[in-house]
Amino acid sequence: MNSVLKIENLCVAVDDKPILKGVNLEVRQGEIHALMGPNGSGKSTLAYALMGHPKYELIEGSITIDGVEISELEPDARARMGLFLAFQYPVTIPGVKVADFLRHAVSNVRNPERKEGEGLIPMKDFRKELRSRMDELGMDHEFARRYLNEGFSGGEKKRMEILQLAMLRPKFAILDETDSGLDSDAVRFVSEAVSRLAGPDMAIIIITHHERLLEFNKPQLTHVMLAGRIVEQGDASLAHELHDKGYVGVRERHPAEAAEEAEPATAVVA
Amino acid sequence: MTTTTDLSLPAGFGSATFRAFTDSRREPEWLAERRQLAFAQYLQKLDLPLSQEEWKRVDLRTFKPNQFALRGKTVRTAAQVTTLMHERANFAGAVTHLDGSCSTVKLDESLANRGVLFGNLAELLVTHREVLEPHFARAVRPETDRFSAWHAAYCTGGTVLYVPRNVEIDQPLYSLIGLSEPNAADFSHTLVILEDGASATLLEETSSVNPDAAGLHVGAVELIVGKGAQLRYVQLQNWNQHTWHFAHQTGLVAADASLQWTVGGIGARVAHIHQDVKLQGRGANAEVNGAIFATDRQLLSYFTQQTHQAENTHSDLLYKDVLRDQARVVWRGMIRVDRVAQKTDGYQRNDSLLLSPDCRADAIPGLEIEADDVRCTHGATAGRVDDEQIFYCMCRGLSRYEAMHMIVEGFFHGVYDRIAIDAVRDTLSEAVKNKLGIGL
């Protein structure tokens, strides 16, 4: 049975300032969704709120996976339920080797009841799996021994996010501008990698301003956010149109939301 | 164990106690005379202020020496002392002490046959005077200050390792210093002598049997590394948090010799360690590592000196400390370069990771250079655990505790990476993990 992530009337504030003002979204395992909208419209906030970042305060609404409310759960519990966020700006964790970090992560996500100190997945199996995922992503095995994101280039950081996605195989993956700050070769690489990972067991919510990622991962649904709400939904052609023409049309069609925009953001063109 | 005390002594460390203490030990004249001299120095120094530079950040107002007493012979065996290290490796020998008395000594016969001495200092100083006397109290001089004199007057014994010329010991040796009875004092002295071309590894650990018993350690460590010799020495200070720990620790490194010295600071209520490394011969090399984790109201203070006394000497110090709650860590580091020590390469660095808003780390590096052709550098950093790091880890399924653990472990990795001994890395890692569990 396909799992369903359901977001209903989600209202979220940061430092008492409302950012999300009633978001509704339903995502099924296996689907690809594009989440678009001008800067400041709430896309990243939605991603962080879904993962449970402590700064993002839920004012109203609900987030459920297969009917189970998750909005009160800690981020690690959400991860263990199959939620994943590929960060736009992944942090550095000095001294923590990629392999050690991932082995803990994989052990917890595959065995959600695991407590710290309980057995990790066997080293041999883990290594083998990690190596084959790295091979598929064209990554040097040396990556596994490096400290997490320490001294990584922008492209390497994004690859590391995709490697984690590949290892954790979540039910719902949110890619927060995974294609930003990359040259066109790197964008192509990430796009292809994601399309290989996509499948009936994984839903992908792609937050992007670019076309490339969506070219390789054609969304069934495109959602457009403006001032903290999803104001339009369409298919892949909507994403294409926004990419070509920007958000002027969206603002014209939704003057009330456009008026609420914190700062008049300009349309982002790749 | 002919020289262990089997009487209980009066509390405190004044003249009456000293007489009872020396009477109980029945030592040869030469040792008794040394004690007498040290005791006179101690009494003299009690009236003199301590060095401001070294002690101004260490609050001794609540320290009451008379609360503590040297114990008579204890009946506990070392097996009852919790150790983190002992089971982690196959040791070529082990010596354990409890409340100032030596309880067990073991040494592989093959090493004994090659002339290696390993055991209770109090005993071997008598039986092997000709070998040990020239080195005993050579690196840590009793007249240095109040604590060194106090230690020399009341020294209860300790672990001694003597490795003859060109004897190489591959397997590590183990030493345990334990405290068990409430208000017990330990005045143990670790003496390691490597003759020219010898090599050895000694892992030492301090531990409290009773987590709530107050304790006192006034110790000394002397590491004497002969020409071309190689010593790896680790001391993990893991007392309970009711123990006062004072120590003078000095390494003398001869020409082309190398000393790798690792200090683990986990326990103690207040600890002050005066750690000296003296590079005395051309080409001498010292690497000093510190992994310190202070929590609650602990104050752990380190006064380190890297003294270059010969040409082409190299020293590299890295202390990493993690602090939580209201803990405080002080590191005062000095590189001294004598006029003759041209081509010195000296480095010192201290990194602090602060886990709570109320902890405090002081790092005060310093250089005193008299030679004109040297390279000496130092650095210090302090940072906090970033909430975004914790969030990131949790987004990957790690619990908050696991995330914190991973970040702290990662921070210490810079030190672990320098220590090629698995048992030491595992022990430090375990100690850190145990400590992270408290109060979370």
Is B111 among the domain residues? Answer: yes
Q: Rounded to whole angstroms, what are the CA distances from B308 to A54, B185, B315, B347?
A: 51, 34, 8, 11
How many domains does chain B fold into? 1
Q: Three-state DSSP class for A98?
A: helix
Q: Which residues on B lie below 8 Å from A102 (Cβ)?
A: 396
Contact criterion met (CB < 8 Å) for B413 and A95 = yes
Compute the distance between CA of residue A66 and CA of residue A26 in angstroms, rounded to an integer: 11
More confident residue, B47 or B345: B345
Which chain A residue's Cα is nearest to B413?
A95
Contact criterion met (CB < 8 Å) for B398 and A105 = yes
| Partner residue facing B410 (CB), from A74, A75, A95 | A95
Q: Which residues on A lie below 8 Å from B351 (Cβ)?
A: none
Q: Check residue A225 and give left, alpha or beta (phi > 0: left; psi -120 to 50: alpha).
A: beta
Is B190 among the domain residues? Answer: yes
Which residues have CB under 8 Å from B73's CB, separation 6+? B1, B4, B5, B6, B101
pLDDT > 90: percent of chain A = 80
- Chain B interface, best mutation among A50, A70, A76, by max B CB count within 10 A: A76
Question: Which of A120-129, A155-164, B7-16 shows the lowest per-residue confidence on average (mean pLDDT)?
Answer: B7-16
More confident residue, B204 or B439: B204
Q: Which residues on A lie below 8 Å from B389 (Cβ)?
A: 91, 93
Compute the distance between CA of residue B34 and CA of residue A20 in angstroms, rounded to an integer: 78
Is B368 among the domain residues? Answer: yes
Angle at A265 between CA A259 and CA A270, to 5 degrees: 140
Q: Which residues on B lie below 8 Å from A108 (Cβ)?
A: 396-399, 402
State residue B280's pLDDT score.
Answer: 98
State residue A269's pLDDT score.
Answer: 44
Token look-up 């109980």 returns B24
Contact criterion met (CB < 8 Å) for A164 and B410 = no
Residues B244-254 pLDDT 10s:
999 999 999 99
A116 and B CB contact within 8 Å = yes
Compute the distance between CA of residue B63 and CA of residue B246 in angstroms, rounded to an integer: 12
Is B392 among the domain residues? Answer: no
Q: Tell me the ipTM for this assembly.
A: 0.95
A44 and B CB contact within 8 Å = no
Contact criterion met (CB < 8 Å) for A94 and B411 = yes
To the nearest whole Å, the CA of B400 is away from the closest chain A CA by: 8
Which chain A residue's Cα is nearest to B353?
A94
**Cα B66–chain centre separation:** 24
Residues, chain B, total? 440
State residue A184's pLDDT score.
Answer: 87
- Are the C-beta atoms of residues A64 and A6 closer than 8 Å to each other? yes
A165 and B CB contact within 8 Å = no
State residue A268's pLDDT score.
Answer: 46
Assigned superfamily of A4-89+170-260: P-loop containing nucleotide triphosphate hydrolases (3.40.50.300)
A49, pLDDT greater than 70 = yes
Task: List the one residue out of B204, B160, B209 whose CA is nearest residue B184.
Answer: B209
A164 and B CB contact within 8 Å = yes
To the nearest whole Å, the CA of B362 is away from the closest chain A CA by: 22
Name residue B234's beta-bridge partners: B203, B262
Residues B85-123 pLDDT 10s:
888 889 999 999 999 999 999 999 999 999 999 999 999
Q: Rounded to whole angstroms, what are the CA distances from B206 to B177, B183, B333?
A: 5, 16, 24
- Are the C-beta atoms of residues B153 and B18 closer than 8 Å to each other? yes
State residue A118's pLDDT score.
Answer: 84
**Cα B389–chain centre separation:** 34
Q: Check residue B16 and give left, alpha or beta (phi > 0: left; psi -120 to 50: alpha).
A: alpha
Is B51 among the domain residues? Answer: yes
Which residues have CB under 8 Å from B68's CB, separation 6+? B11, B12, B183, B184, B185, B214, B215, B216
Return the top range by mean pLDDT from A23-27, A176-180, B75-79. Answer: A23-27
Name residue B202's beta-bridge partners: B173, B233
Residues A187-204 pLDDT 10s:
888 899 999 999 999 999
Contact criterion met (CB < 8 Å) for A164 and B396 = yes
Chain B stretch 376-435, residues whose beta carbon is closer than 8 A to a beta carbon of chain A = 386-389, 391-403, 405-407, 409-414
Q: Which residues on B lie below 8 Å from A90 (Cβ)?
A: 392
The torsion angles phi and psi of B109, rounded to 5 degrees, stand at -60, -35
Count of beta carbons in the 10 Å neighbourhood of residue A197: 19
Token look-up 């409340």 returns B99
| Partner residue facing A108 (CB), from B398, B409, B410 | B398
Token look-up 């301590």 returns B50
Structural domain range at position B300: 15-385
Q: Which residues on A lie below 8 Å from B410 (Cβ)?
A: 93-96, 147
B6 and A CB contact within 8 Å = no
Q: Which residues on B lie below 8 Å from A80 (Cβ)?
A: 397
| Partner residue facing B392 (CB), from A54, A74, A87 | A87
State residue A263's pLDDT score.
Answer: 59
Instruction: Return the exposure string of A47-65: e unless at least 16 CB atoms fall within 10 Å of the residue's CB, then b.
Output: bbbbbbbeebbbeebebeb
Tell me the average pLDDT of chain B. Answer: 93
Q: Check residue B47 and give left, alpha or beta (phi > 0: left; psi -120 to 50: alpha).
A: alpha
Long-range CB contacts for residues A43-47, cutoff 8 Å, separation at least 24: A43/A176, A43/A207, A43/A225, A44/A88, A44/A176, A44/A177, A44/A207, A45/A12, A45/A14, A45/A19, A45/A20, A45/A228, A46/A7, A46/A10, A46/A12, A46/A20, A46/A225, A47/A85, A47/A174, A47/A176, A47/A205, A47/A207
